[in-house]
Each structure stands twice: as structure tokens, then as C-alpha cells.
Amino acid sequence: MVGREWKAVWVVGNATERRDIPDATVSRLPEYLRALTTLIEQGVASVSSEELASMVGVSSAKLRKDLSYLGSYGVRGVGYDVDHLSYQISLALGLTRTWAIAIVGMGNLGRALAAYNGFASRGVEVMALLDHHPSVIGTQIAGLTVEPFADLPRIARERGIAIALLATPARSTQEVADAVVAAGITAILNFAPISIDVPGGVQVRNVDLATEVQILAFHQQQRARGSADAAGALAEVLP
Amino acid sequence: MVGREWKAVWVVGNATERRDIPDATVSRLPEYLRALTTLIEQGVASVSSEELASMVGVSSAKLRKDLSYLGSYGVRGVGYDVDHLSYQISLALGLTRTWAIAIVGMGNLGRALAAYNGFASRGVEVMALLDHHPSVIGTQIAGLTVEPFADLPRIARERGIAIALLATPARSTQEVADAVVAAGITAILNFAPISIDVPGGVQVRNVDLATEVQILAFHQQQRARGSADAAGALAEVLP
DNA sequence: GTGACTTTGTGCATTCGTTCACAAGGAAGG
DNA sequence: CCTTCCTTGTGAACGAATGCACAAAGTCAC
């Protein structure tokens, strides 16, 4: 039933509608893609689920299940064709086109993001650097000129910016986010340590450096506690 | 039953053993803590689960369940005491002490991390900046002197470094990770776009900027596809 | 061709996480 | 002291994600 419809779309063109890929799977696809890119560079033509899974540190069953949501691109008894699988994942993720992004906030983090060279090779192009501070506007960073934040609406329209990276101070971030949304951008990657309010239909992901460290700290402490427990239990027996 | 035992431990001392807090909950605790800190700054003394939940963008039921893993710190009919809850979360996360971290790799990202001022207020102190490139060693960044990566074992020992942040180029990251582990550090926050192999017992979290953007791109594309479907379906009817 | 061998794809069971809905507990006012 | 009101804390239902185990489907050697 759905199968036939799907095939039709497939034959007709590009926009192959895949049924709801689970979120957990989506978040792993970029890692698989990264590993496959490495294999391509090494000239490896074929890979088994076991090998690929160990490269990214997941179980082979999980990997196979993840890939099965995209379709059946493996060959039983052999494995996956590296090039083809890489292409299919790119397709699923929507990376056969380039995504234009803008970085807002040219502090230390904004500069680092601007200079980050992991974007270009992975379907993402930095198309604008924005700040509202006059002393930064007009300066060159990583080959781009910093432009006034107030120009975002025009810039977003002209260059087709689809995603904004916010590397602004916490206190002004909500305001910036509002302006970004008003400029018609519907996807935000927020690096500020604050959670922002956006209208429905706008996507936000947060990356908070301190949060990550705190999660590590928690587990470290758990472990310390665990090894202290033997001694602790003993101590409690004594009055 | 458990209550009594728990109380005993509480009375005796500090190391209150909390039963397995779920991972999903742990990853949200830092956000609750952040919101509570904001409330403290604003002089708010008490908060309901509804209010706090909306601040961090989760449902109030989820918030209450999360907090219930730490214990019963709310007052029915009233809400939570902001100071006390903040303290309890800090305690649970192990943030009543300061965690010494080292940053390895003084490229753009490493510098940005070194200058990041969100750490100090959240129980994390940057105690060492390391690089192996002679031209960077000895320079000052954010008030610290960059030291040779080769000195890590001594530095880690002397300063009690518990966590390492890796901001190194992808190709040298595995090697660096090996050295970090050899220096006795058992928690790593990896910013390099590569997955690293570590011995059991060593904790790794990955933060990959391009991955985050790709996940956003996926959802953007899904949405574009969705709205194109009406037109697409129509187009398919025509020959 | 045919049989032995390898590795995928997936149904099923299980574990983990979220949501619902309400009883329990406490405050506040008369 | 008693009643009313509000919000927590949590069992129970649900849903998502993971892990297991094996049939299905292919390759390759002969």
C-alpha cells in the first residue's frame, strides 16, 4: 500500500519520503557518515556492520537497525558498499545540497566557529558573520567580513540562510533569537547557557559546554563514591 | 523502609547515596540548576514545578519525576525552595567541590574554551592549557600559560586534573587521548570530529559541531519535504 | 549447480523514558 | 480545629529505543 506510493516517488525523482526515522537514529547518522568518509579516504570499498559499528562505538545490531530505516542497502554475506551507503545517508540527512548558515556573535566562540573547518566538507557553508558591536563590524574573520546584525533580514533572504548559530552572551540571546526568527530563520543552534523561547515550528538545539562537563563530573563522582562505599559502609558500623 | 535508611545516612554525613539516577535525568539536572541560579540572582525564593519547567522548556511532570530521584525537596501546595533545591542538585551532580580540568589543543576552539567564562560559576576550573606546538607553548591565554603537552602526567598529578577537554585536530586526537588516559585522567570531553577508543572505565562524551548542524538540517529538510508534498502529489497526478 | 559460509534485515522481548492522572500532604483562612 | 485549596510525588499506562537471535539472501569455491 504505502510501498507502491513510495516506489512511485522513488522512480519519479529525488524526494524519497522515508517513514519517520527515529530521533535516536537521526542523531547517529552523522557519525556513521563521518566514519564512512574516513573509509572513502582510505580507499576502502566495502564494510560490514560489525566493522563500521566498532568504528563509531555502537553495537552492530543497532547500526543495522538504524540503517534499515533508510532502506536495504547492504548485501547479505558481504556488507555495505561504502560509497553507496555514504550517499544514501547524505540523502537521508538532506546533505546532497549545501546548507547556508549564519553565525551570530563574534566573541571567542563565534570566531572559533567561523574558523572551524569541519563544516565545508559536511554540507554546511558559513555564509555570514554577524555582530552588533561597531568595533567588530567590518573586520575580517576566517575570510569573511563581519556584518551588522541589523542587516540579518536582508542577508538571510539574499543568501538563503537556513540555520543560525548563536554564540552570543546569555543575557542578549533571547533578544537575538527573536530577531533571528523574525528574519525567517527556523533552525537555531544555541551555544549560550540559557534556554530560549521560540514560536512553534522553529527548531532549537542547545550546546552548553558547562553542562557537558557537569555531566562528566557527575559520573566521576558516582565512581568515586562507589569505590568509597566499602570504606563508608565499614565506617558506619562503628559508632 | 528505604526512608529510614536514607535518613540515617543523611544524618551521619554528606555522601548520601542516591539510587541510580537515570541518564536522561542527569543530563537535565544541569539545566535545572542553571535556571535556579537565574532565580537566585533575581531574588526569587520559591518556585513551582510548573514555573521552573517552563523556564527550561520541559513538562512539569517530567521535572517533578526528575527531582523525585534526588529526594523529596518540594512542599506540596507551595513548590520548591529555590536555594535548597539548587543546593540539592549541586550535591547530586557533585558540584559542591570544584572540578579541575585541562584543555588540550590551543587552536581556535581551544582558545575559545579557555576564555569561556561559564565554567567558573558552575563548579569547573580550568587548571591547565596544553599544546605540543613550540610556537604556542609559553604564550598567555585567558590568564594562563600554555604548557607542553608532554608535561601532562606531572601536571595532572600535581593539580588533580579530573577531566580533559580535547580540542585537537582529528588526526592526532586518538594519540592525544591515549596520552591523557595514560596520565590517569578518566573523563574526556572530545570536540574533535572523530570517535576515540579508550579503555573501559574511561568516560568519553563527544561534542561535534557539524553533527549538530546536520541534525538540524535533517529536520529542516523533513519539513520542506512535508510542505512540498502537497505540490508534489499534485505534480504526480499530471503526466 | 550445489552446498557451505557469511552477514544482513527484522520480529520479539526487554529495558528505558515519558506522560497521565490522582491520592497524599501541607498551607492558609476562618 | 476543620475545611478548602493548591501543588507535589508517584503508581500505572504508554511509547521509544535497545538488544537478541535467527531466517533470509546473498557470495564463493568447486
* Per-position DSSP letters for A101-169, written without gaps between them: EEEE--SHHHHHHHH-TTSGGGTEEEEEEEE--TTTTT-EETTEEEEEGGGHHHHHHHHT--EEEE---
Q: Are A28 and A56 in contact (CB under 8 A)?
A: yes
Determine the distance between B20 (CA) and C20 (C1') in angstroms: 24
List chain D nucleotides near protein: any atom < 7 Å from a Cβ: 5-11, 16-21, 24-28
Greater model confidence, A136 or A3: A136
**Which 8-state DSSP code applies to residue A183?**
T
Q: What 3-state class would DSSP assign to A74?
A: strand
Q: Count CB-CB contacts under 10 A for residue B237.
A: 6
Output helix, strand, coil percentages for chain A, rounded to the nearest 5: 50, 15, 30
> What sign does the dihedral A162-A167-A168-A171 (CA atoms) show?
positive
> What is the pLDDT, as a whole number, of residue A231?
58
Q: B59 in contact with A at a CB cutoff of 8 Å?
A: no
Give the residue whose CA sits closest to C8 at C1': A76
pLDDT at residue number A131: 98
Contact A214 B123 (CB under 8 A): yes
CA B197 to CA B5: how far, in whole Å? 40
Give the cell for residue A55: 568504528
Query: How many Å lie between the alpha carbon of A151 and the closest alpha carbon of chain B?
Result: 23
Which chain B residue has the Cα nearest residue A9? B236
The torsion defined by the Cα of B215, A25, B207 and A98, in degrees rounded to 10, comes to -30
Spell out the residues 6+ positions from residue A158 whose beta carbon is closer than 8 angstroms to its own: none
The reply to whether A102 touches chain B by the CB within 8 Å rule is: no
Q: How close B78 comes to chain A (CA, Å)?
A: 25
Q: What is the pLDDT of residue A227?
A: 72
Domain boundaries, chain A: 2-93, 99-207, 210-239
Which grid coordinates belong to A132? 552588533
Tell me which residue of A115, A10, A24 sits closest to A72, measured CA to CA. A10
Under an 8 A CB cutoff, do B119 and A207 touch?
no
- Which residues in chain A are contacts of B165 at CB distance < 8 A? 213
**CB distance B216–A189 less than 8 Å?**
yes
Confidence of residue A230 (pLDDT cuts 50, 70, 90): low
**Interface membership of B4 toward A (CB under 8 Å):** no
Hey, is the C-beta of B215 within 8 angstroms of any chain A C-beta? yes
Query: Who's near A95: CB < 8 A, 6+ residues apart?
Result: A33, A122, A123, B214, B217
Q: List helix spans (H) across B15-139.
A: 23-41, 49-56, 60-68, 82-93, 108-115
Q: Look-up: residue for cell 575580517?
A: A140
A182 touches chain B (CB under 8 A): no
pLDDT score for B227:
72
pLDDT for the residue B224: 86
Q: What does the pLDDT profile of chain B (239 residues) look like in tens digits?
A: 322 233 233 332 233 444 699 999 999 999 999 999 999 999 999 999 999 999 999 999 999 999 999 999 999 999 999 999 999 999 999 999 999 999 999 999 999 999 999 999 999 999 999 999 999 999 999 999 999 999 999 999 999 999 999 999 999 999 999 999 999 999 999 999 999 999 999 999 999 999 999 999 999 999 988 776 555 554 544 44
CATH of domain A99-207: 3.40.50.720
- Judged by CB atoms closer than 8 Å, whether chains meet at A163 and B213 is answered as yes
**Three-state secondary structure call for residue B146:** strand
**What was the pLDDT predicted at A88?**
97
Please state which of the four CATH numbers 3.40.640.10, 3.90.1150.10, 1.10.10.10, 3.40.50.720 is assigned to the domain occupying A2-93.
1.10.10.10
Secondary structure (3-state) at A75 = strand
Q: Do B12 and A118 touch (CB under 8 A)?
A: no
